[in-house]
Amino acid sequence: MHLEEGRVIKAYNSFFYVQTETELVSCKLRGKFKKTRKSQGVVPGDKVLIGRLPDGTGVVEEQLPRESLLRRPAVANVTQVILTFAAAQPDLHPLLLNRFLVLAEWSGLKNILICVNKTDLYSGDSAAFLQLYEQAGYRVLRVSAKENLGIDEMRQALAGETTVFAGPSGVGKSSLLNAIDASLSLATGQVSDKIKRGRHTTRVAELLPYEQGFIVDTPGFSAMELGEIPLDELAGFFPEFRPYLGQCRFAPCSHTHEPDCGIKAAWEAGEISQERYEAYQTIYKEIQEAQQLKRKKEYK
């Protein structure tokens, strides 16, 4: 059978929409690609080979090798992620930002950026807080989709890349994409007044063509599974910790309680911020607990 190459643009109700060179084909999957505990299955961004049925729909026959995989939200062949938060409504939650950063670092993406949207709402000074992340080596974009602030700078960061916008519901990911390209007309939803949370307006991840690349709108999420992250690699997912790895007396060192720890010394010397040092300790414990729980379950 003749196979055509294409890219999965979105997956919805067990249909996979595959963009080939010439058209968008709605496809079903061969059973061998179904999602299992071991494999993510076929996800948006995957490059695939499809065969055609007489009615014009397709069947995904082969999954081509991935260059990268962002695990949450699951999108393949991504070159960068913009972790999107709001200055207010919903409030910026630093631990959540740190968890997102770890998850993105673990995925090994080339570029990880932080975006703070809704700067029109926040009259206080979030500069000091965001500076911590700039000192850690991240680029921070301060924008407002509503007032069209910082959108040009954002556009420049997108050309030629496959960029995922990830972050909690209601922070304005879809609104930002609309500000970047008005022709997208993505649905947006009000943040609830009572609980100050988004309403999960975007339901599935979707690749949208943009300037020789793609921008990817994704559903908001705030809970994530960090239990798969190897504990001994965690410190390396904090870029500003990297110069001090290997300076600890003990190997391996968890950098939580051991004496003569290079990371602790860097924190005491003010080279690593209090907030990031604490975030490391907290996330370390979270992963440890998740892994202990998993082991207990497996013993039963």
Ligand X SMILES: Nc1nc2c(ncn2[C@@H]2O[C@H](COP(=O)(O)OP(=O)(O)OP(=O)(O)O)[C@@H](O)[C@H]2O)c(=O)[nH]1
- Rounded CA separation 208/180 (Å): 12
Site string for Zn ion, 194-233 (x = CB under 5 A): ----------------------------------------
Is residue 201 classed as helix, strand or coil in its secondary structure?
coil
* DSSP code for 30: P
Name the residues that contact ligand X, by CB under 6 A.
Answer: 117-118, 120-121, 144-146, 169-175, 188-191, 198-202, 219-220
Residue 248, contacted partner among Zn ion, ligand X, Mg ion, none, CB below 5-8 A by kind: Zn ion
Q: Is 266 in the site for Zn ion (CB under 5 A)?
A: no
Query: Segment near Zn ion (CB under 5 A), from 31-39, 93-101, 177-185, 263-271?
Result: 263-271
Residue 110 — φ and ψ, nearest 5°?
-65, -50
- Rounded CA separation 86/48 (Å): 35
**CB 281 to Zn ion: min, Å:** 12
Is residue 217 classed as helix, strand or coil in its secondary structure?
strand
Length of the chain, in residues: 300
User: Which residue, 58 or 172, is less far from Mg ion as judged by CB?
Assistant: 172
Interface with Mg ion (CB under 5 A), residue from 144, 162, 163, 202: 202
**CB 236 to Zn ion: min, Å:** 12
- Please report, as residue ranges, which positions from 144 to 183 form the binding site for Mg ion (by CB under 5 A): 173-174
Per-residue b or e along 18-49, where b marks 16 or more CB atoms closer than 10 Å to that residue's CB = bbbeeeebebebeeebeeeeeeeebbbbbbbb
Are 40 and 71 in contact by the 8 Å Cβ rule? The answer is yes
Query: Segment near Mg ion (CB under 5 A), from 89-97, 200-208, 241-249, 280-288?
Result: 200-208
Binding site for Zn ion (CB under 5 A): 248, 253, 255, 261, 263
Binding site for Mg ion (CB under 5 A): 173-174, 201-202
